[in-house]
Amino acid sequence: MTPAPGSSGGLMETRKRRHIDVCLGEAVEYQTVSTGFERYRLPYNALTQTDLGAIDLSGEFLGTRLRAPVLIGAMTGGAELSATINRNLAQAAQQLGIGMMLGSQRIMLDNDSASESFRVRDVAPDVLLIGNIGLAQLSASMAPALIDALDRVNANALAVHTNPLQEAMQHKGDTDFSGSIARLRDVAGTIGYPVMLKEVGHGIGAAAAAELADCPIAAVDVAGAGGTSWARVEQFVRFGEIRYPALAEWGIPTAQALLEVRRALPGVPLVASGGIRTGMDAAKALALGADVVSVARPLLAPAIESPAAVVDWLELFIDELLICLHGCGAADLTELREGGVTPL
Ligand SMILES: Cc1cc2nc3c(=O)[nH]c(=O)nc-3n(C[C@H](O)[C@H](O)[C@H](O)COP(=O)(O)O)c2cc1C
C-alpha cells in the first residue's frame, strides 16, 4: 500500500525524495569548514618493506569481518528511488566485503509498504548491515516496533542518529531533545542489537562523548564537519536557498571530532565519517584512531546508476588506501595505527 500524499508516511516519502534531489543538485558541502585531515601528513617511507599485493586491510567491526575498513554511509529508504539505491549499494558492499548502513527506518514504523525499499539481505547475505533511527524520535515505547523493523531487514546492529541542528533547520523538525540521553541509554540497554550513535555531519565531540561514558553503546560514528552539511541540505529543501549561512557552516571538523571522542572513550569502536572522500583521508583517519571509515554522499549518484558504478568508486578509494599503507610501510591496519600521523 502506498501512503496517502498527506499522511505522515507520504510526507516523509516526499521529504526523502527532496533530500536525494538536493544532495544531487545543490552545493551541499561545507563551504568554509574542512575535515582537518589536511593538517596531518601520513609518514611516507621510501624504504618501505611491504609488498603492495600482500597488504591486509581486513578487520572486524561490530562482530562482522570486513575485507576493508569501510562502510557505506546511511542514506536512504522509503522513497521510490530508495529501493534502487539501497539494493545497488548492498550489492557493491557484498562484492567488496565491506559494511553498509541503511537510511532512517522511521518510515517503516508506520508504513508497511516502505519495508520493501530497505530489503537488501537477499543480495547482501554476508554484509555488516546497520539499521537506522533518529534519536529525536527514539523512545522505550517504540522499541518493539523498532526491533521488528530491524528483524525484518535482518540487520546486525542499529545506528541512532543525533541531529539537533538538522532538525532545527527542518520545517516542523523534531526539536525537543530533552531527555534524549536517558532514552538512548534505555533503548541501547534493552533492544538486543548493538547500538552505534552517529551524527549526520555536524560532529560528535568531547561534550557529547562525555555523556556516553556510562551508556551501553557499541560504537560511535563521529560524522563530523567538512563534507555534507545537513544544515545546508535542509535549508535548500525548505527555502530553496541558504538563509542562515553561519548555521550551515557549524560543526566539529571530522579530524577534531575523532580525536575528542577517542580521548573521551578510549575503548569504544569508532567510525570516522563526514567528508571522507579519498583513500588518503581514510588512511589518516585510521592512523588517528578510527576503526573504520564511512562515506555517504559521493556514493549517491553511483548508487542511482548501478552496483558496478558504486564498486568502481569504492575500488579506487580502497586502492588508494592500500597504496597509503604501502607507502608508509604498514603491512596491515595495526601497523598503520602504530605509525600514526605527522601534524603539519
Ligand atoms: C541522501 C542522504 C540521505 C541521508 N540520510 C540519512 C539517514 O536517513 N540517517 C542518517 O543517520 N544519516 C543520513 N545521512 C547522513 C550520512 O549518513 C552522513 O552522516 C553525512 O552525509 C556525512 O557524510 P558525507 O560527508 O560522506 O556525506 C544521509 C546522507 C545523504 C547524502
Per-domain boundaries in the chain: 8-343
Q: What is the pLDDT of residue 9?
A: 61
Q: Is the CB of 78 under 6 A from ligand 1?
A: no
pLDDT of 7 reads 53
- 15 marked among binding-site residues: yes
Collect the ranges in the chain with pLDDT lower than 70: 1-9
Q: Among the CATH numbers 3.40.109.10, 3.90.1150.10, 1.10.3330.10, 3.20.20.70, which is that of 8-343?
A: 3.20.20.70
82 is in an annotated binding site: no
| Owner of C-alpha cell 546497520 | 130
Four-CA torsion 196, 102, 204, 200, nearest 10 degrees: -160
Cα separation, 114 vs 257, whole angstroms: 34
Q: What pLDDT score was predicted for residue 80? A: 78
pLDDT at 120 (0 to 100): 96
* 64 belongs to an annotated ligand binding site: no
% the chain with pLDDT above 70: 97
Cβ atoms of 16 and 76 closer than 8 Å: yes
Query: Cβ neighbours of residue 81 under 8 Å, at least 6 residues apart?
Result: 17, 20, 304
**CB proximity list for 278: less than 8 A, separation 6 or greater:** 317, 320
pLDDT at 225: 98
pLDDT at 112: 79
Query: Cβ(226) to ligand 1 under 6 A?
Result: no
Residue 161 near ligand 1, beta carbon < 6 Å = yes
Burial of 211 (0-12, 13-18, 19+ CB in 10 A): middle
Helix axes 279-287, 307-327, angle to 10 degrees: 50
The pLDDT, as a whole number, for residue 8 is 57
